[in-house]
Structures are given as structure tokens and as C-alpha cells.
Structure 1
Amino acid sequence: MYAVYHGPKGLKDIAMEGHKATVLLAEGLRLLGWTINNETVFDTIIISNGDISTHEYRRDVTRRTMEMELLVYGVSLDETVIGSDLIHLLYVFGANEEEGSIWCLHLQTREQFIRREKATSDICTAQALLANVSALYAVYHGPKRLKDIAMEVHKATILLAEGRETPYLTHPVFNSYHSETKLLWYMKELENRDLSPCHSMIPLGSCTMKLYPTSSLLPAFLPQFNTIPPYVPSVSNQEISKSY
């Protein structure tokens, strides 16, 4: 449904925003003396070997209430990252006020453009839901499977780095429902395709009315059918007579 809502163009815009933020952060970290280990960058960078001292690093991380491991780690960004988030990261990694103000000017311009042109709905950007899903995803797969998934994605990224020439998400479903109202109507349409008692059994009435219409019950009132069979033992006849 995420792909249906955004469509191919929206997905590309979202991917580009996350990629731009990642490239910008990587360039800023390089200027600060940090090493970016991965040559190909999409939305994640691996950082190590910075010039900032261990004491200063621990002090800034603690002061800014950020949980990060020392020396080698990864940073992943998405389209929801704003300029203040990147400035926050650059300050932690040793940027001074002058360097931070230069980056701030560029990021504020970018952020204003996003707010004007790329505003997204709360239905797709609820961070609490994303955090819960990410945590459960890690619980389900475990460290080994997460590493395998990352390697598969990395291999696919290398192939895509050469450039894709064929179109993607060309089905009308991914190019028709790009507003919340249209998406809700589409989901309701899918729901109505299921055959439920509301659309079949319940409108017909009770089980008796469906399975035994009045016309089929008429023979039950004929004398040939509603009397005791002639070959029933007399003892049973007495019991049956009492029931009548």
C-alpha cells in the first residue's frame, strides 16, 4: 500500500531525499576528518577513524543524549530527516559553530523546499509505528539473518548502480491512488471483493428460509408422510403416539 499510495514518482522522490541527506552528511564528515568506509552510498554510511578524540566524542554523545557506539558504526537516514537532524550529527562529530552555520544555510534551503514540494501525510510518516516495526523486524530475523538480508540488498544495490533503463511499477494500481481518499476507496474496493455473510447469507434470512423454502415443505403435510409407518412395532407406536 505504501507503493500504491506514493506511486513510482513518489517512491523515487522519497529515495532521492534520503540519498541527498546521506550524501550531504557523508561529505560533511569527510571534511571533518572522518573516514567513510563504503564507497557506494544510498541511505547508509559506515564511519570510522575520525580525528576527534575519544574524550570529546563521549562528552558530546552524552551531552546530546545520543546512543552511538565508538569507533565504527553505521548511520542510516530517510526522507523524514530535516536540517536540524544533520546539523546535530555534524556537531557531535566535531563541527565547530562556523562550519555548522555553513551547513545550516544549505540544509535550511533544502528543508524549505521539502516542506513546500514534498510534504507527506501522517499516514506514512508515523515514527512510533516505524520504530516498533523496526524493533520487531530485528527480533524476528536475528543478527545472522539481518546480515544476510543486508548482503542481499548490497548486491542488488551494486547492480542498480549501473543504472536501470526499464520502467518500474507500471501497473495502473501504482499510478492511480496518490491521495488518502483515493487510497481508502481502493482499500474498500478490495474489501468488497471478498464474499462475506453480509453480502450473501444474511440478506436471505434465517437458515430455515434458505435451506427449506415453503414450497419444499408442502409434501410433509400429506397424510402419506405425516402418519406412523405401518410396519413400526406396536410398542414403538405407543411411544410415538404419546409424542404427538
Structure 2
Amino acid sequence: MENPNIPHGTITVRNTGLKPWTADNYDLSLEYYTDQGGVFSAGVFLKEIEDFFGTAVKIATAADLEEIGLDPKYAGWNLSTKFNSGAARITGVEFNIRHSLRAVGGWGRHFTVFGNATKLRLEGNPYASFTSFIPETANWGVSFNRQRVSVMTKWNYRGLNKLTALPALGPDGFLYLKARTTLDLNVGYQLTRRLSLVGSVNNVFNVVPLTQLRYGPETPEYARRSTTSEYGVAFAVGLKGTF
């Protein structure tokens, strides 16, 4: 039996009157560099946007389809178009650290720890297209370098990401990407002064699938998961030359 809350597809209508958005950007940062070459930094930023883009989505009716010249058989599909949603504001804080472990002993000079994180506050029209602005992101890890060998492990965190509106789930129904953390590994071996053998492994443990959530204020927790995609572990090996 078909679920009436899940449209058969999406029809995208081009808005020929869409204006480009403009923004004023303000940044303030503080950086400290250590004698060992490390860096500690923190900053705040503000982006004031005019004529920001938004995405309007509705359930297509026969009248809507007639207006744009489409067959009424598409009634019940999502009808999506871009529009200028007005003013929007993005405020954020960020920090970054990178430092050698030389201070803990001779062995520590081969290791470097690093980390960075960003947190955003997104303000604007409820249907503003903030899809490329993830509210919470972070990366951290450790690298090892000794003679010809280099190894780096890096964890990557992406918080909950709000995507497109889903009017079938109510005025506050949206599609989201669930928060996830993955581990990547990069290795290198210096063959000659100009040539290196390199390799990488993405999503090392293959334990975190990419999950889409669909929900509104009335959607129960157990019904929020929409799709889960597993891409496995990605391996790459190659040669890197410097000329």
C-alpha cells in the first residue's frame, strides 16, 4: 500500500525573477604561535545577508500543474522553486589547535596533534536554504612523521544538517542528514626526493552509514529514519611527485 505522506517525486520550477544574494562579512580572530611551531587560534564571525535564497515546496494540485503546463497525473508530487527569502544572518565561533608533542619526551617530536571546530547560529526565513551551512562541524587527530614515513589519523564530525522542506509532514516538516563521525587514515612513504608513495582509507571502520531523516513536530521517533546508505570503506593508492 502506498504511503500518502511520501510524494512520488519532485518537480523543480525555475524562478526567472530570482535575484543574487549579497552579504557583508565581519571576522575577528586571535592567534598564538609557539616556539615549537604550534598554533592556537579562536575567532568569531558574522555574515549579514540580503536577498538570501529560500526553497518553497508544496504538494502539487491539478491547478498548479495546469498553470505550469504539466499533465495532471503529477498531482501529489512535490512542487519546488527557489525564491528570495529576505534577510538572513549567520553567526559563528571557531577554534583551531596544532602542536607537536615534543614537550613530553624525545619520542614526542615525531607526533603532532590537531583539532578544529566550528559552531554556527543560523537565522532567517524558516525556508531559507542553509543546506551548505552545517551548524556543528569538527575535525581532530594526530600525525606521525619520521624520516621517510608519514601517517595521519583524522576524525571528522558533521552535525545534524537541515535540508529541504517536506510539506506532506506539516509546515515544520523537513529532510535532514543525521549527525555522523568518521575516521580517515592517510599514509605516505618518501621513495626519492621528488617522489612519494601515498595511500588513504576513508571511513576506516565502516560503522557510520549516511542516514536521512524525515520528520515534523508530530512524527514519532521510530518513524523518522527515511533512508540509510552504506558506501563501505574507500581505499586509494598512488604516487605523488614534486617537480
The alignment's TM-score, normalised by the length of structure 1, stands at: 0.16
Larger fraction in strand? 2
Q: Which has the higher contact order (CA 8 A, sep 6+)?
A: 1
Larger radius of gyration: 1
The alignment's TM-score, normalised by the length of structure 2, stands at: 0.16
